[in-house]
Amino acid sequence: MKEPTDYIQNNLINIVSILVSAIGVILAIYYYQKAHRIKKPLYTTSSFNLLGDNLNEISNLEIKYLNKEIKTLTATKIALWNGGKETINRIDIPLNAPLIIKAKT
């Protein structure tokens, strides 16, 4: 017949084994993520109006581009960066699909 201290020792060994295993799994995931090298191009835009509806308040003012009157004009700043850990090189951008920034018309 087992004594109560045997059960306590077995339970303690089980608990320590589970904790060590859990810490091992957590460390494995952490170091995998830290070592995982990816290229992650990211961007953001920020727009602000240069000309808007209040343009009509100024008398005798016309703004044209290619003989078309401009009612509103917006400036947009675009920021591009690499959110990954691996350098993005020129050879990573295919020649048949170059990086293009195109304005909506």
- Of the ranges 8-17, 20-29, 31-40, 73-82, which is most confident? 20-29
Strand partners, 48: 75
The amino acid that residue 11 corresponds to is N
Does 43 score more than 60 pLDDT?
yes
The answer to whether the beta carbons of residues 39 and 84 sit under 8 Å apart is: yes
100's CB contacts (< 8 A; 6+ apart) are none
* Residue keyed to tokens 């509806």: 53
Strand partners, 74: 49
Banded pLDDT at 49 (limits 50, 70, 90): confident
CA angle 34, 40, 45 (to 5 degrees): 130
pTM: 0.52
Does 14 score more than 90 pLDDT?
no
The answer to whether the beta carbons of residues 39 and 88 sit under 8 Å apart is: yes
